[in-house]
Amino acid sequence: MRLALALVALAACGPETTSFRTTDKGDELVPSAAAYEVRLDRAVANVHVSSNGGYVSAGEEPMTHVAFEIQNLGRVPIDFDGGALSLRVFGREGVALPPATFAMVTPLGPAQVTIAPGTTATLESYFVIPVRPRAVESMRVRWSLRAGDARFVEETSFVRDDGFPVLDTSIPRS
């Protein structure tokens, strides 16, 4: 696994590397990430969603990354529903491109990740995209949280911004 992540990081330095910046509301804590306050029944979470960009992998596959930091502020567990995770990519003038393919989420584990009350989880998701990263003008990631029978679904938007830092958009660790 470490080797795979090292290859991903090494590949991210190539000429096809590009940045994606969220167009959704951030906050002063993490201005490079979209910020959400999620309320599900008795569950409360702060969620930050960011991307460290698009790149061509060591296997020559065009890919992109989306990170989720989920801070469970409530008293009940919250589930990140990896099975509901999807990414749509768009080219020039907002033309929809063929669908992106979910590749993996780290840390590796079940599709549904439980965040215990009072804890924070950081999940890194990777998608194979249908075109070279610089052909993607924008993208939208759809994600979902659950607590008991309550479900929250959100779509976070990003635009390509070649002037935005590629590797400096990760969520800071406290």
Which pLDDT score, from 0 to 100, does residue 29 have? 74
Q: Is it the case that residue 96 has pLDDT exceeding 70? A: yes
3-state secondary structure of 104: strand
Joined tokens for residue 59: 């296997």
Counting other chains too, the contacts that 118-121 makes at CB distance below 8 Å and 24 or more residues apart are 118/72, 118/73, 119/71, 119/72, 120/69, 120/70, 120/71, 120/72, 120/174, 121/68, 121/69, 121/70, 121/72, 121/80
Question: Is the overall model pTM greater than 0.75, yes or no?
Answer: yes
Among residues 126, 123, 52, 64, the alpha carbon closest in space to that of 90 is found at 64
Q: Is it the case that residue 164 has pLDDT exceeding 80? A: no
- All domains in the chain, ordered by first residue: 2-160 (2.60.40.10)
Average pLDDT, the chain: 85
Q: What is the mean pLDDT of residues 103-125?
A: 89
Burial 135-159 (b: 16+ CB within 10 A, else e): bbbbbebebbbbbeeeebeeebbbe
Task: For 10-60, write each residue's pLDDT tens digit.
Answer: 444 456 788 898 999 887 777 779 999 999 988 999 999 999 899 999 899
Give the residue carrying structure tokens 């590797």. 167
Which pLDDT score, from 0 to 100, does residue 14 have? 54
Which pLDDT score, from 0 to 100, does residue 8 have? 43
Task: For 56-83, write each residue's pLDDT tens digit.
Answer: 998 999 999 999 999 999 999 999 998 8
